[in-house]
Structures are given as C-alpha cells and as structure tokens.
C-alpha cells in the first residue's frame, strides 16, 4: 500500500503517517488480515507491522481473532467527531428523507475531500441501484459522479487546477468522460444550470441528479442527489420529475440553515 509520506518536512511524523496508512489498509476487500498480509500490504517488515498492530490493539482500535487482525467499532469514534462538527447534517436530513419518500429513491449528501466525494448522510431506499453498498464514510471519485461535479463546479480556478493535477481520470464505463477539457466545460454548465446529471459514467445502468446546498454566506456546504435506473424513464423525463423535488427540499433546507446557529 502506498504511503502518504511524501513530505520531508522536519515536522512531519512518519510513524503517525504509517499508522494511519495501516488503519486505512483494512478496507472492504481486506476486512481481516494476518500479520504477514498487513506487512506486505503496507510495505513494511513483519516486526514493524507487529508493533503497529499491537499498539492499536492496546488502544482498542484493532482486535485479534486467531492469526487475523481486524478493526473494532472504536475506530468509528474518530470519524464520528468529524460528523459531529458537521452540524448542518441534522438540519438537512429531514428534507432528504422527504425527497426519498416522494421519489422512492435513495437520497445522499456528500462533501468533497481531495479527489473524492465522501458520504456524510444517506437516506436509503429498498431499491439497490449501485453494485456497492454505500454508507456514511463511503468514497467515490468526484469527476464521474453528479454530486462530485456539483462540488467541483463550486471551486475557484486555482482549486480546480489543483484538483485536476491530482485526480486520476479513469474510464469506469464506456460513457465515462475522462477528457479534462470536456470535464471543465461540463463543470461550467453545471455552475450555470445549478445542477448536475451523470448518465452511466460511474456504473452501467446508473443515472444520478445532484444539486448544491448553500449556507447563508453563499458557500456550498454539500451536494445532495438521487440515483435512478436506466430504462424506466428517458433522461429528460427523469430530470423533469426529480429536479423540482430536489430543488424544493434544498430551498427548505437552506431556509432552515439560515436560522441555524
């Protein structure tokens, strides 16, 4: 696993960076690993991996079952502190629930973190559209998602330049736009229209519509969206059905946020 340590600054703690990398290596594909697997995945010796694992175990963040190690629920304490600071979530969630009930679709909220969007709120539906199960903390690439494009469209030019310098634009389907010039043109349209539509760029059979949520100072707090299956409605009809519901919910959410301390 590639280390986050590319920094030679004397104030940069390599040990802390490697510990965080090790925690992140326990992902959906590797929920439990042996000492050797942890060492190989993090490009470190077995002795170093063992010290990291036993330290995290003593702190309660990792448990051991036989020869395998896995994260404990205590790791959620770290993320929950971040979510607790996003006090706007409790304000917008009722309006997201309203969207989900009216459209019968999952409604999600994300923020931009580096080159990805991160899910900070989600109202699920009975209908599973994506092949992966999304939850709070899930990440998806920003460039090929409707919420990602809404959030990218809100960036300044220097911020957008920085994004494209770091982002790896891969084709996830035959529809995925990976050309930077085309993506920049798309983001300009998103900014003018006030919403983004993505048609099967993240996954075949999946469409999504997203709009931004602003605070009282005119800054984008997050993006919310609904996902749709291809085939039930033409794209134009899907937008005309879903967009007014999303806009109405966001207008009410922004009104509530204006009174929120």
Per-residue pLDDT of the chain (261 residues; tens, 9 = 90+): 444 445 457 788 889 999 999 998 998 788 899 999 999 999 999 999 999 999 999 999 999 989 999 998 888 777 766 665 567 888 899 999 999 999 989 999 999 999 999 999 999 887 656 656 788 888 999 999 999 999 999 999 999 999 999 999 999 999 999 999 999 999 999 999 999 999 999 999 999 999 999 988 888 999 999 988 887 678 888 888 999 999 999 999 999 888 766
User: What is the Cα–Cα distance from 171 to 1, expressed in whole angstroms?
Assistant: 22
Residue 4 confidence (pLDDT): 47
Residue 8 confidence (pLDDT): 58
Residue 193 confidence (pLDDT): 95
Give the other-Cβ count within 10 Å of 97's Cβ.
Answer: 14
User: What is the Cα–Cα distance from 258 to 43, expressed in whole angstroms?
Assistant: 49
Q: Which single residue is written with the structure tokens 């903390």?
A: 137
Q: Is 176 left (phi over 0), alpha (psi -120 to 50) or beta?
A: beta
Q: What's the whole-model pTM score?
A: 0.75
Residue 134 confidence (pLDDT): 80
Residue 3 confidence (pLDDT): 47
User: What is the Cα–Cα distance from 23 to 53, expressed in whole angstroms?
Assistant: 9
What the chain holds in terms of domains, given with CATH numbers, is: 14-74 (1.10.10.10), 86-258 (3.30.450.40)
Q: Containing H/E element for 162?
A: helix 157-166
Facing residues of 33 across strands?
Answer: 69
How far is C-alpha 163 from the chain's CA centre? Answer: 15
- pLDDT by residue (tens digit) across 11-35? 888 899 999 999 989 987 888 999 9
Q: Where are the beta strands (DSSP E) in the chain?
A: 32-34, 62-65, 68-71, 107-113, 116-123, 139-141, 196-199, 206-214, 220-229
């Amino acid at each position: 696993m590639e280390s986050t340590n590319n920094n030679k600054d004397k104030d940069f703690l390599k040990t802390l960076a490697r510990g965080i990398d090790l925690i992140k290596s326990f992902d959906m594909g590797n929920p439990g690993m042996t000492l050797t697997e942890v060492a190989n995945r993090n490009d470190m010796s077995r002795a170093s991996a063992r010290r990291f694992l036993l330290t995290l175990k003593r702190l309660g963040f990792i448990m051991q079952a036989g020869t395998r190690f896995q994260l404990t629920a205590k790791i959620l304490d770290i993320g929950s502190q971040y979510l607790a600071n996003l006090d706007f979530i409790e304000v917008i969630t009722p309006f997201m629930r309203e969207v989900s009930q009216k459209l019968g679709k999952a409604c999600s909220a994300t923020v931009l973190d580096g080159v990805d969007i991160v899910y900070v709120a989600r109202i699920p539906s009975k209908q599973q559209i994506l092949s992966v199960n999304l939850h709070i903390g899930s990440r998806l690439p920003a460039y090929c998602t409707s919420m990602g494009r809404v959030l990218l469209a809100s960036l300044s030019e220097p911020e957008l330049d920085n994004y494209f310098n770091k982002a790896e634009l891969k084709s996830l389907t035959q529809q995925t736009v990976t050309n930077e010039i085309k993506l920049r043109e798309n983001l300009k349209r998103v900014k003018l229209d006030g919403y983004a539509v993505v048609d099967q760029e993240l996954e075949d059979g999946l469409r999504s519509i997203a709009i931004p949520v602003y605070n009282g100072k005119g800054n984008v707090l997050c993006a919310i969206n609904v996902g749709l299956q291809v085939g039930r409605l033409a794209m134009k009809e899907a937008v005309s059905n879903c967009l007014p519901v999303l806009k109405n919910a966001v207008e009410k959410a922004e009104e509530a946020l204006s009174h929120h301390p």
